[in-house]
Structure 1
């Protein structure tokens, strides 16, 4: 028994006329007659008494009619449920992220909430290669990645530049400066992740050091944000790097975050998307990303009209009472 046969049967049973039933279904009458005959053969029972003057339900047809209507009602309920799921899927974006996005991600989500309140964003944190594969497989609508120039099967859309900052002990003489020349860190061990963990970041930092004229001395590997910052704050002097947007969430009185003196020490962030994804689906996300890129890592802190802009970085020792020190570089 096919659904179309059930629909034709109900139409004829309600109209008691093959011609009117065909017109109601927007098909020709022979098709209706053919499918009803086929259904009767499959059931082994006549459903209608046919004469040249009228059509009437048989006992079998009368018994089948309420069940046929139930079948068609169930079909409509199922279609309605699936329509709801399609609508929900159209208003949910699954986006791959990483911890280093920091304030940038917060700004993107805030902008989306303001501009597209009906859109729900589900964040999925995973390694870079896993995020990219999930976009290829259709499991993610998009993913943030850094430092890549190509990813097979995907489009990489540039959204912003992320400057790097140095993290060093707050008591170190370099922490008293507003910016840190990279060359002045040559005598300190560098704590950084193994290259296989984050090749883009490691290559960027190593190349910058070599271009400055030194090969960095590697200290213990970077493990977690908390443990590495604690080791820098309390152990032998050493340094590491963070993305500026991430560092805003890692303030510590014992560790100082300082921008590098030389410009250009930054990584470009891309939104990886599948070429087949409709542009209109990603438009709100791209709009929010470009807003975050244009405005910096996030909105300005709210201050009174006469107040000076607040710095996201803790003041270096001796700078608390120096109003001439400008630490607002990152906004």
Structure 2
């Protein structure tokens, strides 16, 4: 069984037609049919019910299709990542979610550039899900996000858990509180961001509510962080942000800490599995150096 057999089978399974699959693969139908029959003979099972129109996968065929997809995806990713390694162009491409820029990332990048003055740093603003796709496609070499996703080709290094704070206007009824609980926010006009693409930081905040058996009475989805803060400043709602953002619009907005220390947002470094390049090791080492210098609670791992 070769990779081409898997690609042939996937095409037939998705097109539900030998003729359409042949067109998609730019081959004629007879050899495609022979290849699928050869595959079934080698497997010792029928994968496609040819009596159905459109074609339908057997139970074994469904199982084979799901695993064939993963094998082909991993093969394509391996090829892309190897080409990226072999064609190193003197640069490192970094993906990041917007809120990370308000933390230590600028200082990390500044110090990294001093260590490697001849390495060009290319930045891409991508949400956590987009970073996964960009890593496996070779678009970026490392990503910094806030959401965990399971993907066999990507390793997540949890750098730290950053505490969350509530942003309210200077005229809000909660402004004199030393701390707030998440239940205090149930009946507030909660502004969540970003609206798209999903899943996003918005989903993380909603999960914090649901994990505690409560849900906000009303929330408004807005496009991005700065829109949410602008509406907060106008006293049109409240929002929740990582603590590192609490200096934004500080003349108009008051940031209140939560009573619950577990209300946090993770800061995650995303890399390809088994990528142990010197650049990535140095980047992670610099992150830990800065955390220690600034007395930031963090977790330490090795690449």
Counterpart of 1:285? 283
Counterpart of 2:111? 111
Gaps of 5+ in 2: 1-84, 297-303
Gaps of 5+ in 1: 1-85, 299-331
Q: CA RMSD in A?
A: 3.0
CA distance in 1, matches of 2:194, 2:279: 37
CA distance in 2, matches of 1:168, 1:155: 36
Deviation at 1:161, TM superposition (A): 1.9
Contact 1:94–1:140, Cα closer than 8 Å, also in 2:
yes
Counterpart of 1:274? 272
Counterpart of 2:145? 145
CA distance in 1, matches of 2:139, 2:203: 30
Are residues 129 and 209 of structure 1, via their aligned partners in 2, closer, same or farther at CA, if it must alter by over 3 Å?
closer
Deviation string 1:259-315 (CA, Å, 9 cap, x unpaired) is: 2121011122222212353332311111122234445698xxxxxxxxxxxxxxxxx
Counterpart of 1:122? 122
Q: Which has the higher strand share?
A: 2
Are residues 125 and 203 of structure 1, via their aligned partners in 2, closer, same or farther at CA, if it must alter by over 3 Å?
closer
Counting only pairs closer than 5 Å after superposition, residues 55-70 of structure 1 correspond to structure 2 as none
CA distance in 1, matches of 2:234, 2:118: 47
How high is the TM-score relative to the length of structure 1? 0.55
Are residues 196 and 229 of structure 1, via their aligned partners in 2, closer, same or farther at CA, if it must alter by over 3 Å?
closer
Larger displacement relative to structure 2 (158-167 or 194-203): 194-203
CA distance in 1, matches of 2:260, 2:294: 19
CA distance in 1, matches of 2:230, 2:177: 21
Contact 2:195–2:221, Cα closer than 8 Å, also in 1:
no
* 1:257 and 2:235 are equivalent in the alignment: no
Q: Which runs of 4+ in 1 moved over 6 A?
A: none
Are residues 143 and 254 of structure 1, via their aligned partners in 2, closer, same or farther at CA, if it must alter by over 3 Å?
same
**Counterpart secondary structure, 1:155:** strand
Larger Rg: 1
Larger displacement relative to structure 2 (156-165 or 191-200): 191-200
CA distance in 1, matches of 2:211, 2:273: 37
Larger displacement relative to structure 2 (192-201 or 166-175): 192-201
CA distance in 1, matches of 2:194, 2:111: 35
Q: Number of paired residues?
A: 211
Contact 2:127–2:200, Cα closer than 8 Å, also in 1:
no
